[in-house]
Amino acid sequence: MILPRPLLSRIVMATSVLITALFPLSGQAAAQSWPSRPMRLVVPYVPGGATDLVSRIVGEQLTARLGQQVVVDNRPGATGTIAFTGVAAAEADGYTLITTADSLTVVPFSYKNLKFDPRSSFAPVSTMSTQPLVLAVHSAVPARNVKEFVALAKTRSLSFATSGTGTSQHLSGELIKKMTGIDMVHIPYKGGGQAIIDLSGGQVPAAVLGSSTVIPQHKAGRVRILAVTSKKRSAVLQDVQTLDESGLKGFDVYQWTAMLAPAKTPKAVISRLNTEINAILKHPAARDKLLAAGFEAQPSSPEEVSKLIADGMTRWGNLIQELKLDLR
């Protein structure tokens, strides 16, 4: 039977409207059923470091809240680019996530031909923690504050250790040099854990490292923290001055960690993750664990993560260009 043309047109139009209406519903249904199996939380750095510790604290709580195991998967190498490349190419279904540190904003200036873009290859979820960096010296170094350290550096050759070239620690050290007029030799390590061993052993006289890495040795008297890099004092180092207070006006650098997912992960999944992580970070169970380890819990919106990444790339990109630093 041949249908009249007007009737056939109405049937085609009605069918198209129905199909269009069903697609969003299927996406919502998939998001509502998430998670139905374990999730993988990739950490781009070695076990035991700051990002790894934060990931495990949050991942443990996320497992309890979502009812599915969050498995931490350490994939170190090439300043995190191996892990970032893999996650950027992973299926955007909410079952592969990654924890990043602020070093993600420096990676584009350190490596050519990256297969991911920090600003567009990922869907931000939430920040998780912050911690200031610290300027620290071995206990035998005759400097008890920043002013004495600068005076000492102008009379002798000093070096400073960091967790690697092209990290916020490295660039903060370069910024200290720029603002004080001193010259120090940068000694990059393959992680903060190795750097603090040599600093506490006296193999290097100074370091710019994450506060959580240095605090145990500071309390043991093996190293001396001269200042924190954030503009406000640290909640776990309230008796230590900031670099801003010590004469480096406007100095404000801190490390942050954030959770990301592959770009195009369903918005409903991102929203659910953001809600759960924010609730975790506001609860004493996780907040107190983070604080005891030297971190401050930092919940946020996905939009705030995007701004952190964009602002970091602008800031460090400008400094690298101004100082003509070769990070490649």
Three-state SS for 132? strand
Q: What is the pLDDT of residues 147-176, one digit of tens each?
A: 999 999 999 999 999 988 889 999 999 999
Does the domain spanning 32-131+255-323 belong to CATH 3.40.190.150?
yes
The overall average pLDDT reported for the chain is: 91
Q: Which is higher by pLDDT, 29 or 203?
A: 203
Of 9-18, 225-234, 235-244, least confident by mean pLDDT is: 9-18
Three-state SS for 74? strand
Domain positions in the chain are: 32-131+255-323, 132-228
Looking at residues 197-202, what average pLDDT do you find?
Answer: 97
Looking at residues 181-202, what average pLDDT do you find?
Answer: 94
Percent of the chain at pLDDT exceeding 70: 90
pLDDT at 46: 82
Residue carrying the six token digits 């052993």: 201
- Burial per residue of 153-189, b for 16 or more beta-carbon CB atoms within 10 angstroms, e otherwise: beeeebebbbbbbbbbbbbbbbbbbeebeeebebbeb
CATH of domain 132-228: 3.40.190.10
Query: If pLDDT is split at 50, 70 and 90, which confidence band does 303 have?
Result: very high
Secondary structure letter of residue 301 according to DSSP: -
In CATH terms, are 32-131+255-323 and 132-228 the same topology? yes
pTM (two decimals): 0.84
User: Residue type for 234, please?
Assistant: S
Instruction: Name the pairing type of β-strands 39-43 and 70-74.
Output: parallel
Three-state SS for 182? coil
Q: What is the pLDDT of residues 306-328, one digit of tens each?
A: 999 999 999 999 999 999 998 87
Q: What is the pLDDT of residues 1-30, one digit of tens each?
A: 454 555 445 544 544 444 444 444 444 555
pLDDT at 116: 97
Q: What is the pLDDT of residues 127-145, one digit of tens each?
A: 999 999 999 999 999 999 9
pLDDT at 325: 93
Whether the link from the prior residue into 284 is cis, omega within 30° of 0, is no
pLDDT at 214: 96
Alpha carbon distance 162, 193 (integer Å): 10
Of 83, 67, 72, 75, whose CA–CA distance to 34 is shortest? Answer: 67
Alpha carbon distance 305, 197 (integer Å): 32
Looking at residues 186-210, what average pLDDT do you find?
Answer: 94
